[in-house]
Amino acid sequence: MTSGNNISISGECPPPAGKYTIAISGSGDCIVVVTSDFKEEFRTDQVDVVGVSWAVPARSGGYICLSLCLKAGAEKVLFMSEGYDADVLEEYCRIGSELARALKVEFKEMSLGADA
């Protein structure tokens, strides 16, 4: 959702993410991510890729991650599910795709295979 020059994506995912807001400042130089567990700020020019990765359950429950890949080579996980669920994967992909469009960076989806 866009309000003036500000961009905000908000909603609610299953725990542990819970309610979240991802906001990009009106000047476009700062992204703020707020969940029920944390608040973190990033410079938008440091974000290289928005990604969603997942492992399907083999012996354990699998997982799904929504993350920012930074130009310095670091990765910051924004949301991580407690188990694999196709609906959660779809929601994380929707959020990631929308965020990547807003940041004008690439969005990647990556299966990591089975969670052993």
* pTM: predicted TM-score of the whole model, two decimal places: 0.88
Q: Which residues contact 58 (CB under 8 A, 6 or more apart)?
A: 114, 115, 116
Q: Rounded distance, CA 79 to CA 94, Å?
A: 13
CATH number for the domain including 66? 2.30.29
| pLDDT tens readout for residues 84-107 | 999 999 999 999 999 999 999 999
Paired with 6 in beta bridges are: 3
User: What's the pLDDT score for residue 109?
Assistant: 96
Look up the domain containing 52 and give its range: 2-115
Which residues in 52-86 are b (16+ Cβ under 10 Å) and which e? bbbbbeeeeebbbbbbbbeeeeeeeebbebeebbe
Segment 4-32, tens digit of pLDDT: 457 899 999 988 888 999 999 878 899 99
How many structural domains comprise the chain?
1
